Amino acid sequence: MENTEKLNNFSKWALEAANKRSSQDMRRFTEELERQTEEFREQKRKELTECYHMEAEKRRRELNRQISKALTQQKRRLHEHQQQKKAELFALVEKKILAYRKTDAYDHYLVSKIRMVREFAKGEEIEIYIDPKDQKKQRYLEQTCVCFLLVSAEEFGGGIKAVVRSKNILIDESLGTRLRQEREAYTF
């Protein structure tokens, strides 16, 4: 074999070895590049998923905040409306009580309450008070019930109040107290 042939064979062998090595390097490089690309893609998927979940949670919190705010406003408006209706209702009740106090039925109511209080006292000394606005009825009530009545210094909306001092008992049958109790207990 001649030198040219040897040189050609060597050149051929060197090129094949270089090509083989280059091919292996290229394959390893491609595999490494694909691996890194897949890792990069996976990392970006995770980041995107995290970002999506954070944004979804942020929007959910914002929506809950808005719903809570709207509910609070609705409750406040409902409460205000209920208070307004309650005030209107009790204003109407007060007007009806004032009208009732001008009737004969109210006079009979006072007589029945005075008799009830006297029966409760069972002969004990009792002080029975009527509302100052009922002072005109004092004589009629005293004659009908055969007892002495006192006119209260303060208005209590009609009805009577009585004190049994020996038993230390206050009996409150006033319409004002009943109305106040109903107003406090009234709910929608």
**What pLDDT, on a 0 to 100 scale, did the predictor assign at position 55?**
92
Angle, helix 138-145 to helix 104-121, in steps of 10 degrees: 50
pLDDT band at 2 (very low <50, low <70, confident <90, very high): confident
Q: Model-level pTM? A: 0.64
- Whole-number Å distance between alpha carbons of 73 and 64: 14
Strands, sheet with 149-151, edge to edge from the N-terminal-most edge strand:
149-151, 127-130, 159-164, 169-174
Distance between CA atoms of residues 54 and 72, nearest Å: 27
Sign of the four-CA dihedral 136, 140, 143, 145: negative
Summarize pLDDT for 105-155 with one digit per residue, the tens.
Answer: 999 999 999 999 999 888 889 999 999 999 999 999 999 988 899 999 999
Helix boundaries (H) for 101-137: 104-121
147 touches 128 (CB < 8 A): yes
Around Cβ 32, how many Cβ atoms within 10 Å? Answer: 10
What three-state secondary structure class fits 163? strand
Indicate whether 16 pLDDT > 70.
yes
Ranking 18-22, 53-57, 154-158 by mean pLDDT, the lowest is 18-22
What tokens were used for 170?
Answer: 């206050």
